Chains A and B, each alone.
Chain A
């Protein structure tokens, strides 16, 4: 399970675009936290602060016709795939203009046009569907890949094992991306996994596994490209163990009493993917500030858009249960 070496396939221009996207996700998530504290958004929000490089590195590698399924921590993946921040924010505000028309909310963001098969409030719930979509592509001879995001906590759930077993058995073009942030809600990996190397999970199915450091967007991008190529070429699915860090609570408002004292401060100091990329690019303060102002305005506009949106009528809830 060799660590992916930097392959240098990403241009500096693309890296700057990655930085902009990662910063957009960061500012979006901070705004979500702020609007929650202001009482405008209800709770049950999971933000992806700290995991931006995974979302951007993976989604930037996906082909236009590829599909993916997300998790309860879905805002970053959805934004990185290109769903407009206005439509994501409007969804959080429960408006008809939201990407799930105000029916899904934070944990059920959909965007069929962009191959977003949906976020999922049930941990591990979307994994078998990714195997199914990949099987569909294989049966039709289409060169498409279905990709799943999930956390380390999801690897303890039955659907994870069923989905990976079926995927490898049928050699379908699927990629399973484990955002391994070492916390299942408030439970540390040491208490929820009997193994230390997550990629051992894949070995049980004879599945190709790649370990990658998820705070480095270039590494994530390169590893995802390799995984997608493997899957697309008909060699079967790939498991990606992506080491990442949740630089915030499980949910917005989480007091995080379970974290060792000082851990969060230290991680923010050492594991911030945006700091890392900025250093790599040698970006001057004023340039970063310019990008920051730009994405901050996009986020502000998304809140204005969402607040001006249309509330669903109660009778709307009766629609769409059946065709």
Chain B
């Protein structure tokens, strides 16, 4: 099978889905002639024309709001937010409308919108180009959230999002856009939402991660002297609770890794689920390795902010010290 980088897999998914379904269109800033700042939409304009690959002005609320109207008239829009933090101007449309329409109309309206964006730190970018905003989206009723860690999942999850009848936010870890390389099936390929991936099997301790933190967890597992399981969640909402609880029952020790700020981050929700449903399986406290409750720092000190292999290893060793 051919190998692609993660961002090439995103591009491949878009080509396949636009080819498959004439009602799918892409809109966003610089997605056309430029092919997107990360080249995720490269080639779409030439292949599908300006009606299916729409260059927009810098207007995130306008982009998502336009997508709402397009849905009402039968299109399946895929909106690109150029960077994680550039999505904040569209949060209003997402929270007040996109996530609520179906409910508000008693199930009378469909909103098959995909919002995809590069997210996360570690790329030596200035502030507002490296946020991990997943919790805002997870917290919004009516919205689903997926985050791939591998090229194959980047393709499969994006295809699932495009085909899903509900609004789906797909956050793509830009740190590994070009460093994550792997086999990606050709043609149509879908990874169902709501299914975690066991990235590595083990019996002593579980590291739970998503996005770029999966790689950090795997490198930590390499270093640790114990048998470590790595669970890649892939979809944050709906959560694959079964996979989480099964791994917790198996190892009895869980460390959660997220690069977003700590308070009320996604790891806090996972810890709550474990406290409610796995308390008798656990042999020690659920530990979190996270970013800090600060704006994402400038590049010179960002390595201290990001969860590192050393921090994950340290947490794991502390947990393994419990009987």
Chain A interfacial positions (CB closer than 8 Å to B): 67, 96, 100-104, 108, 110, 112, 117-118, 120-122, 125-137, 139-140, 146, 158-159, 162-163, 165-166, 169, 319-323
Contact = CB atoms under 8 A, between A and B. Distances in A.
B62 A131 contact: yes
B65 A162 contact: yes
A104 B97 CA distance: 12
A321 B103 contact: yes
A120 B96 CA distance: 9
Contacts of B70: 132-133, 135-136
Interface of B: 25, 51, 56-57, 59, 61-62, 64-75, 89, 92-93, 96-97, 101-110, 141-142, 144, 164-166
B66 A128 contact: yes
Nearest to A312: B106
21 contacts: A101-B108, A103-B105, A121-B96, A122-B92, A125-B92, A129-B65, A132-B67, A133-B73, A134-B69, A136-B69, A136-B72, A139-B25, A139-B75, A140-B73, A162-B61, A165-B57, A166-B66, A319-B103, A320-B105, A322-B142, A323-B110
Given A136-B75, A159-B61, A104 B68 contact: no
Given A136-B73, A140-B73, A100 B144 contact: no
Contacts of B59: 162, 165-166
Contacts of B69: 117, 128-136, 146
A166 B164 CA distance: 27
Nearest to B51: A139
B75 to A, nearest CB: 6
Contacts, number: 136
A166 B65 CA distance: 11
A65 to B, nearest CB: 11
Contact of A125 (B89, B97, B106, B166): B97
Given A129-B69, A132-B67, A133-B72, A100 B104 contact: yes
B26 to A, nearest CB: 13
A108 B104 contact: yes
Q: Most B CB atoms within 10 A — which of A126, A139, A158, A162?
A: A162
B203 to A, nearest CB: 35
B68 A128 contact: yes
Nearest to B110: A323
Given A133-B73, A136-B73, A102 B62 contact: no
Given A134-B69, A166-B62, A322 B106 contact: no
Given A134-B69, A139-B25, A320-B102, 13 more contacts: A103-B105, A118-B104, A120-B97, A128-B61, A129-B66, A129-B68, A136-B69, A137-B73, A159-B92, A162-B61, A163-B62, A319-B103, A321-B142
A294 to B, nearest CB: 31
A127 B64 CA distance: 11
Nearest to B65: A128
A163 B104 contact: no
Contacts of A122: 92, 96-97
B61 A319 contact: no
Contacts of B97: 120, 122, 125-126, 129
B67 to A, nearest CB: 6
A33 B55 CA distance: 47
B90 to A, nearest CB: 10
Nearest to A174: B69
Contacts of A110: 104-105, 108-109
A322 B109 contact: no
B62 A165 contact: yes
Contacts of B75: 136, 139
Contacts of B74: 136
Nearest to B69: A132
A39 B237 CA distance: 41
